[in-house]
Amino acid sequence: MAKKLLITETVLRDGHQSLISTRLKTSEMLPILEKMDQVGYHALEVWGGATFDVCVRYLNEDPWERLREIRKRVKNTKLQMLLRGQNLLGYRHYADDIVEKFVQKSIENGIDIVRIFDALNDLRNIRVAAESVKKYGGHCQIAICYTISPVHTIEYYCNLASEIEKMGADSIVIKDMGGILLPEVGYNLIKEIKKVTSIPLELHTHSTTGIGEMLYLRAIAAGIDIIDTAISPFSGGASQPATESIFYCLKGEEKDTELNLNHLKEIAEYFKIIRKKYVDEGGLNYQALFTEPSIIECQLPGGMLSNLVSQLKIQDSLHRYEDVLKEIPRVREEMGYPPLVTPLSQLIIAQSVFNVIFEERYKIIPNEVKNLVMGLYGKTPVPISEEMIKKIIGDKKVLLERPADFILDEFEKLKMEIGDLAKKEEDVLTYAMFPEIFKKYLENINKE
């Protein structure tokens, strides 16, 4: 029996993150949520690293409060978040007690599905978060970060998928952050993963390179269960393929999405007005809407190309853009072929920029690159060569164990550190994510 195709709507997380630097305010989301709840979506993606960060850093909003307000209005549709494994929503590895507490509070405040990924696909960095999701009654989805390299074969991904199912995941997502998964490769990948697993399989891509829609059609033919799309005003370019376009493609076919078109139209009208505001204010970077097929070769995720351009502008080195694009795959190979996803994409780009503008490779090495070589992010897909290790960290020892094994429980310590400033446990967790800006953020929140 053919089942309908399930749709995860991303406008409240990845859609606005990819096109307007995650600037949607809670007040711009609330009026349309009840309508969104009636469309028949499988899930709404609403929370993740950047949404949490931007709330605290720029919008003077409590991200937990946003989540609760969304939950109040979305009664039928599942709410989904994206979690960076042992990094949670921050930029370092946290102790296991913080990981558990963060997952617990996310679920208590309204999250149903937790999508967990690790930039290196090192499942040791996912295990504690996954166990916590199960413990607190959430749906545990584990991601495979898709990348292209000599070691990232279909066999490699099938092994990973089997391991993920064995870990107790409720579903798997192939996370194609760069929009580089070619349709025929995707077709085979999905067919093969389906042979070795029995849990639902989801696909996440971006339209950046212009192949996202083609990929989805082939993925559907291969039997994908769920795909991620964004309502049209926040779709395309660095964002996801448009929800309505997929709806029209599949209407009346075997894999109908069975979404409510009238509701989709209303939601699109609503977000068109929001989009216009950001276009008028200059908040929508038009470059994010350009199709950039060359990413299929350099593999940078959506948004990173424009970051690279502004980074080079600041250094007065925009004329070295092409050289940096050539340097990136070289650095990536030397670093053991990590997938280019946060935070590793930033780190590989930074090293590539330094290698090019200082005219000597590895003359300047950011600490994050040293940490990667030292094993502090986990295991790279291919071991880094002895020669590179020597060059980057000298005689220092490479860590072979799970990085968080060496981090002592820290919730109580952090709670003591901020004392009365934290009114609830969620505040301690926000402080854990962003210690430097936490005080200023609290002052702003309390003012309002």
Element (H, E) at 392: helix 386-393
Q: How far is the CB of 197 from Co ion (least distance, A)?
A: 22
45 touches Co ion by CB under 5 A: no
Angle between helices 26-36 and 63-73 (to 10 degrees): 20
Interface with Co ion by CB under 5 A: which range of 9-17, 89-97, 119-127, 439-447? 9-17
d(CA 215, CA 166): 27
The 372-401 site mask, x for binding Co ion (CB under 5 A), equals: ------------------------------
Q: Which is nearer to Co ion, 239 or 430 (CB)?
A: 239
For the chain, give me the number of helices (H) and strands (E)?
20, 8
The 163-202 site mask, x for binding Co ion (CB under 5 A), equals: ----------------------------------------
Q: Which is nearer to Co ion, 14 or 334 (CB)?
A: 14
Q: How far is the CB of 249 from Co ion (least distance, A)?
A: 21
Q: Which is nearer to Co ion, 14 or 96 (CB)?
A: 14
Q: How far is the CB of 80 from Co ion (least distance, A)?
A: 12
Give the C-alpha distances (Å, rounded to integers) separating 176 from 14, 30, 203, 299.
13, 29, 8, 10
Residue-wise burial string across 367-396, b where 16 or more C-beta atoms lie within 10 A, e elsewhere? ebbebbbbbbbbbbbeebeeebbeebbeee
CB atoms within 10 A of CB 364: 14
Residue-wise burial string across 293-309, b where 16 or more C-beta atoms lie within 10 A, e elsewhere? eebbebbbbbbbbbebe
122 touches Co ion by CB under 5 A: no
d(CA 331, CA 334): 5
Q: Which residues are 226's β-sheet partners?
A: 6, 202
Q: Which is nearer to Co ion, 222 or 341 (CB)?
A: 341
Which pair of structure tokens corresponds to residue 57?
Answer: 């850093």
Q: Which is nearer to Co ion, 14 or 61 (CB)?
A: 14
Interface with Co ion by CB under 5 A: which range of 13-21, 140-148, 208-216, 419-427? 13-21
| SS3 state at 115 | strand
14 touches Co ion by CB under 5 A: yes
Q: How far is the CB of 84 from Co ion (least distance, A)?
A: 12
Size of the residue set binding Co ion (CB under 5 A): 1
The 236-265 site mask, x for binding Co ion (CB under 5 A), equals: ------------------------------
Q: Which is nearer to Co ion, 53 or 427 (CB)?
A: 53
Interface with Co ion by CB under 5 A: which range of 7-15, 91-99, 269-277, 415-423? 7-15
Interface with Co ion by CB under 5 A: which range of 14-22, 148-156, 249-257, 387-395? 14-22
Q: Which is nearer to Co ion, 82 or 312 (CB)?
A: 82
d(CA 9, CA 232): 11
d(CA 311, CA 350): 9
User: Which chain residues interact with Co ion by CB under 5 A?
Assistant: 14
